[in-house]
Amino acid sequence: MNSGYALDRSNGKVLGVCAGLARTTGWDPLVIRIGVVLATLFALGPLAIVAYVLIAWLANDR
């Protein structure tokens, strides 16, 4: 497991946020993406979209 979070744009589908989180945690990127979509649809709504864009804007590229 890596010590810090960074975007993974080479493996990312949109902005690389989920791929970066998957690389940092060691989980499968598909599991992270499905979790983000489900959280957006059923729990967080627009807040999840704002958080996703904010993370993409603030995080470092690797």
> Which segment of 8-12, 13-17, 35-39, 49-53 scores lowest on mean pLDDT?
8-12
What pTM was computed for the model?
Answer: 0.80
Structural domain boundaries in the chain: 1-62
pLDDT tens, 16-39? 899 999 988 999 999 999 999 999
Of 14, 20, 17, the closest CA to residue 1 belongs to 20
Q: What is the pLDDT of residue 2?
A: 45
